[in-house]
Amino acid sequence: MPCSGIGSTKVAGQQDALPGLPMAPINYKFGNREPDFLSTGSGNTSFLVINQRYDYAFGLFSGGKDNPKLLAVSNKVSFANPKAPVFPLLSQGKEWNEMAVTWTSGYNIGEAYPFVEWRIKGEETSKRTPAVTLTFTQGHLCGNPARGQG
């Protein structure tokens, strides 16, 4: 039976591998994009994945999008440091001589000391400035879809 697709999915907080993929695929590719895949059953593909602080798994399906059948599931793929700060943003501060740096992190307030390390161009010594931590909960948001599930 020729295989028709490969998909990636988050394994949201699962401790043990499940017999199938535990969540809906977040990305997929058709196997027939690889020239020799249908005749040889082998090929290569790659996916760009971002650190969503959970492990990923990949599934091999047959049957196409209309009738998918899970044939195999990969081992979990983990990030080396899933709590690492990501999505940095640099913006103008409140005053003309201020800059704001924002990011998201998986660390709780008691697990890490948040700071920004910086230096003036041409200088070799860097400085560390303590960061102010703000945490937004669902209650801070205005309504759906922001206050919905997901």
* pLDDT tens-digit series, residues 68-102: 888 888 888 888 888 988 889 999 988 998 888 88
**Residues 99 and 44 reside in one and the same domain:** no
Q: Domain range for residue 42?
A: 5-73
Half-sphere exposure of 84 (CA within 13 A, CB side): 9
**Residues 27 and 67 reside in one and the same domain:** yes
**Residues 67 and 120 reside in one and the same domain:** no
Number of domains in the chain: 2
Mean pLDDT value across residues 117-139: 87
Cα gap 57→23, rounded to integer Å: 10
Structure confidence by residue, pLDDT tens digits, 12-35: 444 444 455 555 556 778 777 777
Q: Is 122 within the bounds of a domain? A: yes
**Whole-prediction pTM:** 0.54
